[in-house]
Structure 1
Amino acid sequence: MVSSTIEVTGLSGNGPALLEVQENIVHWDRSDPTVHLVAPDGTPYLLRSNSLGSSGPTTHSVDVSSKKANGTWKLTVQDRYSTSAGYLDSWKLSF
């Protein structure tokens, strides 16, 4: 599993009802990875689970209105096959 974090500061209150999460995973088989966004309180949000996707950046919308916006947000990527090759190129949050 690969994970990466983004520290969010300077926002007041909770996150939006439609937080945009953009992830760019480079993988020979885009149907392999399972991707979660993890809120600062540890709540996971499934973004993609072993489903076909287009190559290049993929954007997901997540309702995080019950979570504080500030804190450390994490993206986790789990490949279902240990012999597969790929990597998380980049990701970002748009509040």
Structure 2
Amino acid sequence: MATAGRRTLAAGGTVAVAAAVNVATGMLTQKWTLAWWLCTAVLVVLGGALQAWLTVSERPPARRQEIEDVDVRSGAVTQRMSGPGGQSVRRARIEGGLSQEQND
């Protein structure tokens, strides 16, 4: 599901839960002012929590660039990566040079 669809679903669910809290509180206590305040609190807390969760879940995973089992006898190896993430070289036998570059 696309980001806009998830946000729409989260907003609709938040409003539905807040409305249910409003009606249930009002009917059980007959204190409609209290019911509206609880409804507002549920909207703010649940809506904020859902939006925070959606924002965190949209972050791209950390990237990783690995070179394994490299055996370069004469020459150089350059590993380039743009953006955040990690670079590693394992089990390498390079008798020239190894250069790692990363642009943020």
Asked if TM exceeds 0.5, the reply is no
Q: What's the TM-score, normalizing by structure 2?
A: 0.22
Q: Which structure dedicates a bigger proportion of its chain to helix? A: 2
Q: What's the TM-score, normalizing by structure 1?
A: 0.23
